[in-house]
Amino acid sequence: MQRIKTLSEYFKKYELSEKDPESFWSEIADSFTWKKKWDKVLDWDFEKANTKWFQNAKLNITENIFERNLKERGSKTAIIWEPNDPSEPSIHLTYQELYEETCKFSNALRSKGIKKGDRVIIYMPMVPEAAIAMLACARVGAVHSVVFAGFSSTSLADRINDCQAKMVLTSDGNFRGNKTIPVKSVVDEALEKSSTIESVIVLERTKQTINMFEGRDHWWHDCIKEESNVCEAEVLDSEDMLFILYTSGSTGKPKGVVHSSAGYMVYSAYTFLNVFQYDENDIYWCTADVGWITGHSYIVYGPLLCGATTVMFEGIPTFPNVSRFWDIVDKYKINQFYTAPTAIRALQAHGLDPIKNNSLESLKVIGSVGEPINEEAWHWYHDNIGKGNCPLVDTWWQTETGGIMISALAGITPNKPAHASLPLPGIHPVIVDADGNELIGNNVQGNLCIKFPWPSILRTTYGDHQRCINTYFSNYKGMYFTGDGVKRDHDGYLRILGRVDDVINVSGHRMGTAEVENAINEHEEVIESAVVGYPHNIKGEGIYAYVIVNSESSDDIIKAEIIDVVRKVIGPIAKPDKVQIVSGLPKTRSGKIMRRILRKIASNDYGNLGDTSTLLNPNVVEEIIKGAN
Ligand code: WTA
């Protein structure tokens, strides 16, 4: 695959992608290995949320990672694994070794009855086996659905049930900083609430005592013991499902975003190579977890398709101390480093001391993802980690987009602090006002839509195509709606402003307010709740919950119980930062909660609450302001 090397080449490619998207994408797709090439590049109808790329082509994504790379890169390191505890040895897996481990595990999956199309849940720590599990599923044509191992048993059960999964891959426990987290027991609990799982494969990691259920549970090492290290790849259709990844929206429970085989492959590889400008001998590190889309596209698939060396880190940035990230950068001489603004802000809060003994001179490119990066964090990252001479790529994209959509190409697109900057070739963003009118020209602000399909656009939401249509393709006719606000500045550069719907972005993780409210409402003494986001110095946004209770307990006790209920129902990432007990919520005469007002109060912005004349109960606003945290 050819990499774009100059700004004028970028503009040329962009123009071609507008004029003749089919030639543009087929030229890129030509550099992959196909069992059979496509009959037609693209077929689409946004009103029905139908998009098909590379129709009738046949392939297996893992043959593009392995067979396509092995001859030249068999002995090249594919994965470097850095354990949670730096005194434990790291692991380096070459492409050949990763291939053999993947084949063995693919055979193990087949031995346990997994076939093409079956859904397999991966609930694992950040260890090489998590990547092997994903690749093995892909090899046998099973659809993986990775669930972040911090989610509760209820969240896990919801996902298992929604996709009717047949198998769970997990570990005995996870190491995270100085904690050991039980994982298998969470799976056991989840399986009490679901009936489709036939078997569980358990990786030994922490060696803690766990229950193994006869006939259902098997050890990973036993499963692969007798298996061959050769495994024929299942032949998949371009549009066959590669994976499902659940993500929060503004309503109801999380949606299973579905990605296809061919389009996702082409786009994740293309964007990895171009955004990070990866060179053959570079060492690349993305700090995400494979439980999120960033881990899928830019730890596993994108880098491995490009034959890159990708680092996987099991731990957290603050263990054993706050220099950990920078120690890892120096240890492996990382060239491209990709992380989230929340991590940058958290480390920035410790000042420059933690980096004074680090050279960081191997770094060539630094990246940001998951939430808007504020200017202060941008400059700190650029000046102190990038030492002022590494391009900073602020990459905007979503679970639904599969790959990076708007970003500078490292070293090619001029950097502009806090701006995601320009769309990738093939991506056609538009800014629309509330009525759906396209805002042309520079110096405009509105909602971000995409008006033309790209290869890794979501194909559906699992089991409910209508929901996919309603969520993404109904707000603005003929366009994909992102849920984000955006500004195009006087130079034509794009700056993402954050969500415009009821989704809160907490430390780069998406949380639907409705989801958190539903969890809070599970507390027996809660009558009603309303959840909003508010600006948070480290997390970007914090979760603020207004709750009406009917309880004899003190407010402190009930608040602690509410936080605990959310932890149990969703997981620790959804815990409210602030809980305020209130006697009522501001509502319109038709009974709708006026979140706009609640958001302002949560942000300490009482001065201008806007029009409150339509409120049914204006007095309650005064009371809420008085009691605000
Ligand atoms: C936000 C993560 C500003 C945005 C890859 C989007 C960003 C949501 C950026 C998707 C960025 C992601 N600048 N905001 N560079 N990247 N976002 O699905 O609100 O976990 O809609 O995908 O994160 O989150 P998701």
Residue-wise pLDDT for 407-419, tens only, equals 999 999 999 999 9
Q: Whose CA is nearest to atom 7 of ligand 1?
A: 371
Answer whether residue 249 shows pLDDT above 90.
Answer: no
Ranges of CATH 3.40.50.12780 domains, the chain: 8-60+240-501
Are 135 and 142 in contact, with CB atoms under 8 Å apart? Answer: no
| Rounded percentage of the chain residues whose pLDDT exceeds 90 | 95
Cα separation, 187 vs 168, whole angstroms: 8
Banded model confidence at residue 555, pLDDT cuts 50, 70, 90: very high
Are 299 and 81 in contact, with CB atoms under 8 Å apart? Answer: no
Residue 535, classified by CB atoms within 10 Å of its CB into exposed (0-12), middle (13-18) or buried (19+), is middle
> pLDDT value at position 396?
98
- How far, CA to CA in Å, does 613 sit from each of 100, 431, 505, 519, 606? 68, 31, 30, 31, 16
Q: What is the mean pLDDT of residues 58-67?
A: 98
Token pair in block for residue 75: 């002995």
Cα separation, 359 vs 608, whole angstroms: 48
Answer whether residue 270 shows pLDDT above 90.
Answer: yes
Q: Whose CA is nearest to atom 22 of ligand 1?
A: 398
Contact 371 CB / ligand 1 (< 6 Å): yes
Contact 238 CB / ligand 1 (< 6 Å): no
- Ligand 1 atom with the shortest distance to the CA of 509: 20
| Rounded percentage of the chain residues whose pLDDT exceeds 70 | 100
Model pLDDT for residues 441-482, shown as the tens digit of each residue: 999 999 999 999 999 999 999 999 999 999 999 999 999 999
- 3-class DSSP state of 123: strand
Answer whether residue 15 shows pLDDT above 80.
Answer: yes
Yes or no: domain 94-234 corresponds to CATH 1.10.579.10:
no
Helix boundaries (H) for 424-485: 465-468
Name the nearest CA neighbour of 563 among 544, 582, 587. 544
Whole-number Å distance, alpha carbon 98 to ligand 1 midpoint, is 30
Whole-number Å distance, alpha carbon 432 to ligand 1 midpoint, is 19
Cα separation, 324 vs 271, whole angstroms: 28
Banded model confidence at residue 591, pLDDT cuts 50, 70, 90: confident
Name the nearest CA neighbour of 460 among 51, 55, 158. 51
Ligand 1 pocket mutation pick from 345, 396, 404, 475 by most atoms within 8 angstroms of CB: 396
Q: For all residues of the chain together, what is the average pLDDT?
A: 97
Answer whether residue 383 shows pLDDT above 80.
Answer: yes
Whole-number Å distance, alpha carbon 467 to ligand 1 midpoint, is 21
Lowest mean pLDDT among 52-56, 192-196, 530-534, 609-613: 609-613
Ranges of CATH 3.30.300.30 domains, the chain: 503-627
Contact 423 CB / ligand 1 (< 6 Å): no
DSSP string, 361-396: TT--EEEEESSPPPHHHHHHIIIIISTT-S-EEEEB
Whole-number Å distance, alpha carbon 396 to ligand 1 midpoint, is 6
Contact 485 CB / ligand 1 (< 6 Å): no
Are 440 and 451 in contact, with CB atoms under 8 Å apart? Answer: no
Answer whether residue 553 shows pLDDT above 90.
Answer: yes
- Ligand 1 atom with the shortest distance to the CA of 496: 3
Name the nearest CA neighbour of 217 among 183, 241, 256, 246. 183
- Ligand 1 atom with the shortest distance to the CA of 292: 20
Whole-number Å distance, alpha carbon 401 to ligand 1 midpoint, is 10
Whole-number Å distance, alpha carbon 395 to ligand 1 midpoint, is 8
- The position carrying tokens 């994909």 is 480
Instruction: Report DSSP state, residue 47.
Output: G
CATH homologous superfamily for the domain 503-627: ANL, C-terminal domain (3.30.300.30)
Cα separation, 614 vs 550, whole angstroms: 27
Contact 406 CB / ligand 1 (< 6 Å): no
Q: What is the mean pLDDT of residues 484-503?
A: 96
Answer whether residue 271 shows pLDDT above 80.
Answer: yes
Contact 247 CB / ligand 1 (< 6 Å): yes
Q: What is the mean pLDDT of residues 422-449?
A: 97
- Ligand 1 atom with the shortest distance to the CA of 482: 21
Whole-number Å distance, alpha carbon 398 to ligand 1 midpoint, is 5
Answer whether residue 337 shows pLDDT above 80.
Answer: yes
* Residue 355 CA to its chain's centroid (Å): 28
Model pLDDT for residues 169-196, shown as the tens digit of each residue: 999 999 999 999 999 999 999 999 999 9
Banded model confidence at residue 161, pLDDT cuts 50, 70, 90: very high
Whole-number Å distance, alpha carbon 117 to ligand 1 midpoint, is 29
Name the nearest CA neighbour of 545 among 557, 536, 534. 534
* Residue type at 225 in one-letter notation: K
Q: Whose CA is nearest to atom 13 of ligand 1?
A: 372
Contact 295 CB / ligand 1 (< 6 Å): no
> How many CB atoms neighbour CB 264 within 10 A?
28
pTM of the complete model: 0.97
Name the nearest CA neighbour of 268 among 414, 83, 460, 61. 61
Contacts for 306-309: CB closer than 8 Å, 24+ residues apart: 306/1, 306/269, 306/272, 306/273, 306/278, 307/69, 307/72, 307/73, 307/76, 307/95, 307/280, 308/272, 308/278, 308/282, 308/284, 309/76, 309/77, 309/78, 309/79, 309/80, 309/282, 309/283, 309/284
Cα separation, 373 vs 216, whole angstroms: 45
Instruction: Report the DSSP beta bridge partners of residue 505.
Output: 510
Whole-number Å distance, alpha carbon 484 to ligand 1 midpoint, is 8
Answer whether residue 610 shows pLDDT above 90.
Answer: no
- Ligand 1 atom with the shortest distance to the CA of 372: 3
Are 42 and 22 in contact, with CB atoms under 8 Å apart? Answer: yes
> pLDDT value at position 612?
78
> pLDDT value at position 615?
86
Banded model confidence at residue 28, pLDDT cuts 50, 70, 90: very high
Helix boundaries (H) for 20-65: 21-29, 61-65
Answer whether residue 607 shows pLDDT above 90.
Answer: no
Ranges of CATH 3.40.50.980 domains, the chain: 94-234
Model pLDDT for residues 577-588, shown as the tens digit of each residue: 999 999 999 998
Model pLDDT for residues 128-155, shown as the tens digit of each residue: 999 999 999 999 999 999 999 999 999 9
Ligand 1 pocket mutation pick from 287, 381, 397 by most atoms within 8 angstroms of CB: 397
Model pLDDT for residues 502-523, shown as the tens digit of each residue: 999 999 999 999 999 999 999 9
Q: Which CATH number, 2.60.40.10, 3.40.50.1100, 3.40.50.12780, 3.60.10.10, labels domain 8-60+240-501?
A: 3.40.50.12780
Whole-number Å distance, alpha carbon 370 to ligand 1 midpoint, is 4
Token pair in block for residue 252: 């109801």
